[in-house]
Amino acid sequence: MGRQINFFLHPDDQFEFDQIIISAGEVLFVPSRQNTKEVSTLPDSIIKDSKNKSSKLNLVRPSDFPQIKPEYIEKLGYWTFQDMNLPVLEFDRCTFTATRINRGGIYFEPKYVRNLQWVEKSPEFVSWADE
């Protein structure tokens, strides 16, 4: 029921793809891994060092940002998000080495299940995410 697109993006094309994301409207780049419960953002989606960064980001509209609350995963030692019920686009960036580009993708769920009932995400979010 979710919507997904997968792709391969060469490192030289990251800036142009980042500009395409930004052109769709205001967006915040929120790393999936957080060091504290205070949510941090990045200035862009560009991977500067493929070895040291998690490839996963959440793309968030500023109006939805107050809903974004991380949960601490003790076994992993970091804070992260239960993305399925949040108004976010999950962006798995293409990581790369000297000889390989790993697949990336963008994904979201327009609705989710809570207490055995379907819960629709806001029409404004779904419309934005579909663009």
Give the tokens for residue 12: 């030289």
Longest dimension (CA), the chain: 47
pLDDT tens digits, 71-99? 999 998 889 987 788 999 999 999 888 89
User: CB burial class (10 A; 0-12, 13-18, 19+) of residue 94?
Assistant: buried
Q: Which pLDDT value is given to residue 51?
A: 65
Give the tokens for residue 93: 């960036």
Full residue range of the structural domain in which residue 13 is found: 3-130
**Calpha distance 20→13 (Å, rounded):** 11
Q: Which pLDDT value is given to residue 114?
A: 87
Q: Taking 70 as the threshold, does the pLDDT of residue 53 lie above it?
A: no
pTM: 0.88
User: CB burial class (10 A; 0-12, 13-18, 19+) of residue 130?
Assistant: exposed
Contact 36, 49 (CB under 8 A): no
Report the domain count for the chain.
1
Give the tokens for residue 94: 């293409």
Q: Which pLDDT value is given to residue 50?
A: 63
Q: Tokens 């060092």 correspond to what residue?
A: 49
pLDDT band at 122 (very low <50, low <70, confident <90, very high): very high
